Amino acid sequence: MSTEVKVPVLGESITEATLGQWLKKPGEPVAVDEPIASLETDKVAVEVPSPVAGIMGAYAVEEGATVNVGAVIASIDAGTGAAAVPAAAASAVAPAVTSTAAPAPVAASENSDLPLSPAVRRLVLELGIDPSKIKGTGKDGRLTKEDVIAAAKGAPAPAATSASTATPAASAPTGARQEERVKMTRLRQTIAKRLKSAQDTAALLTTFNDVDMSAVIEARATYKDLFEKKHGVRLGFMGFFTKAVALAARDVPAVNAQIDGDEIVYHNYLDVSVAVSAPNGLVVPVVRNADAMSFAQIEKAIGDFGAKAKAGALTMEDMSGGTFTISNGGVFGSLMSTPIINPPQSAVLGLHRIEDRAVVRDGQVVVRPMMYLALSYDHRLIDGREAVTFLKIVKEAIEDPTRLLIDL
């Protein structure tokens, strides 16, 4: 007897997803509620748990296929031990490896117990790395592309391949031009559509300023150890900027508002979408009621979201809503950028890298740790005067953090 595994309800208004990766192979034992597949929706990756304990049965769809909510994607057979995989099921385990693939790496990747995503599997084949000998840093110990690349850099050069097993690629002349086509993930497609929609719909404009980070850096250096000891979380820059945005939004409410048809919706709360990097692209989980949170609460919330994003565990609820976005490109080394708003929001604050620059203070040229700030906004709702005022308040609060304490 077998039990069907169906695509679960994915969230409001979401009716389909892409089967991104199988996490269990036919014939492997499965525990109840153990994830057996990963689905990619428009916003996040969702794991499909097994409804019962048993043996993983045949796949009904392959990786990369589009599936609707309620569709059957696999079956769980009764039993507790490893079962032989039928030939038909084995052929559906993954897209067939073409005859041009090198036999040795293929055997290593298919015989490994580690679940490999299509991108990782392809990289393993290209580099000739045995995935069973690599320690994965992804969720549940899964391998990431970074794990494979790091292992390849530290591994000795592979032995020369015999003529009987050499691939056409191996015999290609040095410097051969190659191309690879990879289908965009559903998340990447959605990101592309939303960003283009923002450009087509909103009247986007960006205003810039720079901020002296000396006071914040000094405060962090003075209190970071005590802060972490008391709250169990590191004191970062995002807490300061989030509090500064909350302060500025009180004086310039249009920046925290949105257009809905022919009406303007003003929010008396601040839900900050924090752009963080995830394996499949940039995602923006929401720190809710950030204006009422302490530094420690803000830092903890952002840290938790970062960890969940890296593990691919963000939920629909984590991503929904948001009235304003903060995007920190500085962690990747960006000096300056013009961020695009996250619809239906009307503004986004871009942070950039901190670098020592010569500035004039009291008639003297001095060196200060400076950062460029960029505020992109929808000019249909926010006037230039309001945007400049908002950014100026943020700058003043960062350069004199006491303003955050006395609400000035």
CA gap 325, 255 in Å, rounded: 10
Which of 46, 54, 60 has the alpha carbon at shortest distance from 14?
Answer: 46
Structural domain ending residue among the three candidates 103, 134, 154: 154
Beta bridge partners of 37: 22, 48
**Residues spanned by the domain of 126:** 2-154
> Of residues 337 and 13, which shows the higher confidence score?
337
Q: Residue 286 contacts by C-beta under 8 Å, 6 or more apart in sequence?
A: 271, 272, 273, 274, 318, 319, 320, 321, 322
How far is the CA of 175 from the CAs of 19, 172, 217, 385, in angstroms?
36, 8, 48, 55
Which of 114, 20, 17, 23 has the alpha carbon at shortest distance from 62?
Answer: 20
- The alpha helices in 291-383, defined as continuous H runs, are 295-310, 316-319
Q: What is the pLDDT of residues 278-289, one digit of tens each?
A: 766 677 899 999
Question: pLDDT class for 223, splitting at 50, 70, 90?
Answer: very high
In a domain? residue 170: no
113 and 203, same domain (yes or no): no
- Residue 275 scores a pLDDT above 90: no
Q: Angle 11-258-347 (CA atoms, 0-180°, nearest 5)?
A: 95
In a domain? residue 178: no
> Of residues 161 and 205, which shows the higher confidence score?
205
CA gap 148, 179 in Å, rounded: 21
Which of 345, 343, 317 has the alpha carbon at shortest distance from 12?
Answer: 317
CA gap 362, 225 in Å, rounded: 33
In a domain? residue 176: no
Structural domain ending residue among the three candidates 99, 134, 154: 154
In a domain? residue 181: no
Which are the catalytic amino acids? Answer: 379, 383
How far is the CA of 150 from the CAs of 128, 172, 186, 279, 300, in angstroms?
13, 25, 27, 16, 30
* Sheet with strand 2-6: strands edge to edge: 2-6, 72-77, 54-59, 29-30
What CATH number is attached to the domain comprising 379? 3.30.559.10
290 and 401, same domain (yes or no): yes
Residue pair 33/48 in contact (Cβ under 8 Å)? The answer is no
229 and 129, same domain (yes or no): no
388 and 327, same domain (yes or no): yes
Per the structure block, which two tokens stand in for 293?
A: 């949170």
**How confident is the model at residue 136, as a pLDDT?**
80
**How confident is the model at residue 346, as a pLDDT?**
95
3-class secondary structure, 204: strand
What's the sign of the alpha-carbon dihedral 91, 93, 96, 102? Answer: negative
**How confident is the model at residue 291, as a pLDDT?**
93
What's the sign of the alpha-carbon dihedral 355, 280, 349, 240? Answer: negative
CA gap 38, 280 in Å, rounded: 13
142 and 240, same domain (yes or no): no
70 and 193, same domain (yes or no): no
221 and 363, same domain (yes or no): yes
In a domain? residue 281: yes
123 and 192, same domain (yes or no): no
In single-letter form, the type of residue at position 203 comes to A
- Residue 114 scores a pLDDT above 60: no
**How confident is the model at residue 281, as a pLDDT?**
64
3-class secondary structure, 257: coil
In a domain? residue 172: no
In a domain? residue 24: yes
- The helices-and-strands tally (H runs, E runs) of the chain is 11, 18
β-pairing, 364-378 vs 355-361, is antiparallel
CB atoms within 10 A of CB 277: 14
Structural domain ending residue among the three candidates 137, 154, 171: 154
Number of independent structural domains in the chain:
2
64 and 110, same domain (yes or no): yes
**φ and ψ of 121, to 5 deg:** -60, -40
107 and 237, same domain (yes or no): no
135 and 235, same domain (yes or no): no
Per the structure block, which two tokens stand in for 401?
A: 């953090």
CA gap 41, 46 in Å, rounded: 7
Q: What is the pLDDT of residues 115-160, one digit of tens each?
A: 566 567 667 666 777 777 788 887 667 778 778 788 877 754 444 4
In a domain? residue 163: no
Q: Indicate the average pLDDT of the chain.
A: 81
Q: What is the pLDDT of residues 262-273, one digit of tens each?
A: 999 999 999 999
Q: What is the pLDDT of residues 66-92, one digit of tens each?
A: 888 888 999 898 876 444 344 334 334
Q: Residue 127 contacts by C-beta under 8 Å, 6 or more apart in sequence?
A: 105, 148, 149, 152
CA gap 342, 194 in Å, rounded: 8
Q: What is the pLDDT of residues 388-407, one digit of tens each?
A: 999 999 999 999 998 888 77
What CATH number is attached to the domain comprising 26? 2.40.50.100
316 and 240, same domain (yes or no): yes
